[in-house]
Amino acid sequence: MSLTARDLGLFAIMGAVLAMVAMFQSPQLAVTILNMSLISAIMALGVNMQWGYAGLFNVGIMGFTAVGGLAVVLIAMPPVPEAWAAGGLGIILGLMLGVATILAAVLVYKRMTPGRLRGLAIFGVLVVGFMITSYVFGPAKQAVQAVDPAATGYLGGAGLPVVLAWPVGAVFAAGVAWLVGKVSLGLRSDYLAIATLGISEIVIAVLKHERWLARGVNNVTGIDRPVARPVELQPVPWVQSLADTLGWSVSQTATVVSGLGYSALFLIVLGILIWLAERALNSPWGRMMRAIRDNEVSARAMGKNVTRRHLMIFVLGSGVCGLAGAMMVSMDGQLTPGSYEPLRFTFLIWVMVIVGGSGNNWGSVLGAFVIWFLWVQVEPAGRWLMEMITSGMDVGSELRRHLLDSAAYMRLLTMGVALLLMLRFAPRGLIPER
């Protein structure tokens, strides 16, 4: 644990700011900000492992968090027996055929000598495999999606406890990362950037489109929550007495208590991760990773298998992002593929890492808090600003309406300016690497 007094001061200021939100705005808002900050901190931690430890540029964070979110649906939702009966077997078989096709193509790639013939053979294998797969998969998918489409229309999950979905989410994301890394790492450094950008778009497309999997854009709602919901807490006696003591309404108290329950869970996860990450960073392994980052050529010359190390850290970091994605979905109690936007889930995390201080785990956490706070607060601030500007205008004026409507976009502007200012004047971030 290498925190200086200055770092602790920065965290204390952040805490004080959140306390002020609780006092002057509302305690619910403060808890919401706190929880999303914690989740963002975990995502930033994952990205910092890749970028700060190894210099890998991952622009597909959104995809890994979404995959983690998918795990929550697949683990926690009850299975839909009718759908399984209608086409479960076909879907499983179809997926297996798809995997077999790709494996066959890889086998051809490895066994045959390079040349035009090999290219043709791979192409042939893929085309034939694709046709067989879609022949099996297509009808099964249609059948599943036809089962009560208004309520289910998908296979459902495993009906297991929701907290189990968190590690599974991490494993899912790590698996996707392994595939991406296997193809793109060690080839060219820009390749990973474009590959992650592509894969994250594909993941979202799959989530939106494959309705048999997680209902697509129809969203899965009502997922079991690891913490009691506010409605369930309201009749509990100690919540009611707490409300009396604080002088808050019962519903408000219940919301805050429920939110703080998540905060506690998230804090435990974040704490464990930070402990592990710091241990790893200061171990011989961490020093080796940073040595590779700072001078890849000489590390290679010293006989280090750079590509393998990169793959490992890429998989680990993406797994952490997947964990955060699963936590977020279980907090919301719903998976909404339509809400995944790269600006919010990929590039905003990058702002957090840079502003916080790349290479420093505590920096990433602080960056996540600061940036998420700004992200939430700039919108009302922008609205207030716009109201000031437009106060002299005619109430029905078109310009006034337009300006008020566009206040929401002030946050993008602010994030950009924050990133540019940090990069220019404090490129090592709020808590620099040491």
Which residues bind to another protein, rule: CB under 8 A?
Answer: 55, 57, 59, 119, 130, 138, 183-184, 187-191, 193-195, 197-199, 201-202, 205-206, 208-209, 341-343, 347, 350-351, 354, 402, 405-406, 408-417, 419-420, 423-424, 427
Which C-beta is closer to another protein: that of 25 or that of 406?
406
Q: Is 356 left (phi over 0), alpha (psi -120 to 50) or beta?
A: alpha
Closest CA to 177 of 204, 195, 194: 195
User: Minimum distance between the CB of residue 197 and another protein, rounded to whole angstroms?
Assistant: 6
CB of 193 to another protein, least distance (A): 7
| 66 within 8 A of 214, measured Cβ to Cβ | no
Least distance from C-beta 130 to another protein, angstroms? 7
Of 246 and 413, the one with the shorter C-beta distance to another protein is: 413
Q: 27 or 55: whose CB is closer to another protein? A: 55
Q: Which two tokens stand for residue 37?
A: 């900050």
Cα separation, 278 vs 271, whole angstroms: 11
Using the Cα atoms of residue 264, residue 270, residue 272 and residue 275 in order, give the sign of their dihedral. Answer: negative
Sequence-distant (≥ 6) Cβ neighbours of residue 126 within 8 angstroms: 101, 105
Measured in whole angstroms, the distance separating CA 261 from the mean position of its chain's CA atoms is 21
Distance of closest approach, residue 66 Cβ to another protein, in angstroms: 14
Phi-psi region for residue 148, left (φ > 0), alpha (ψ -120 to 50) or beta? left
Rounded to a whole number of angstroms, the minimum distance from the CB of residue 398 to another protein is 12
Q: How far is the CB of 224 from another protein (least distance, A)?
A: 29
- Which CB atom, from 16 or from 187, has the smaller least distance to another protein? 187
Residue nearer to another protein on the CB measure, 11 or 178: 178
Of 28 and 218, which has the nearer Cβ to another protein? 218
Q: How far is C-alpha 353 from the geometric centre of its chain's CA atoms?
A: 14
Question: Which CA distances in Å does 139 have to 133, 146, 218?
Answer: 11, 11, 20
Residues linked to residue 220 through DSSP beta bridges, in sequence order: 335
- Rounded to whole angstroms, the Cα distance separating 313 from 56 reads 9
Q: Which is nearer to another protein, 308 or 402 (CB)?
A: 402
Work out how close the CB of 123 gets to another protein at its nearest, in angstroms, rounded to a whole number.
Answer: 9
